[in-house]
Amino acid sequence: MKNQLLNLSYLLGILMLSQLSFAQSNPPVSHHKDSLVALTKKYYQLNIKVFQTGSTLADIEAIFELFSPDFTYVHPKYGGVYTRKSLYNGYVNNQKKGNYNGREADVKVTKMIVGLNAVAVKRAFIIRDAKTGKLSEGERKMTLFEFKDGKISRIYEYW
């Protein structure tokens, strides 16, 4: 009985080591830091374009080209989890209602922390006053982007 327990312990140890070795030799696929940063910046550039008066459906569609098929947008403060389709419909509805009026004139990214298939961003929109046209920096906010297969798979808002 004692020998059987020792043999079982030995076999479990070998199995655990082989699994560890497999995991180390096959790490999760990650994308180069620069490509994650470039994709995140592209997302903000395209959003600013959509937020302007006169933006088109093609401008919205350009944003959604950056997203994976199973993309989700998570914003607990404003409704929770949005599917790719529900977020797209929200963009289109806001555009049709004239809500994209140039108020968000630009975005100022002050910090990016790049991790394994993720980028945490500290940013603020540059807000245009509707009456005076004067620009001012809005509230700083944090957003987490997650990536899969070279696309944005999830955006999580922490504000």
What pLDDT, on the 0 to 100 scale, is given for residue 136? 98
CATH number of the domain that 69 lies in?
A: 3.10.450.50
Using DSSP's 3-state secondary structure scheme, residue 157 falls into strand
What pLDDT, on the 0 to 100 scale, is given for residue 108? 97
> Exposed/middle/buried for 125, CB within 10 Å: 0-12, 13-18, 19+?
buried
Cut 0.85: pTM above it: no
For the beta carbon of residue 12, count every other beta carbon within 10 angstroms.
10
Q: Domain range spanning residue 102?
A: 33-157
Return averaged pLDDT per consecutive 10 residues of the chain, 159 residues in all. Answer: 44 38 45 90 98 97 98 93 97 96 97 97 97 96 97 97
Number of structural domains in the chain: 1
Does residue 11 lie within any of the structural domains? no
Does residue 111 lie within any of the structural domains? yes
What pLDDT, on the 0 to 100 scale, is given for residue 17? 37
Q: What is d(CA 102, CA 84) in angstroms, rounded to the nearest whole number?
A: 24
The tens digit of pLDDT for each residue in 60-93 reads: 999 999 999 999 999 999 889 999 999 999 999 9
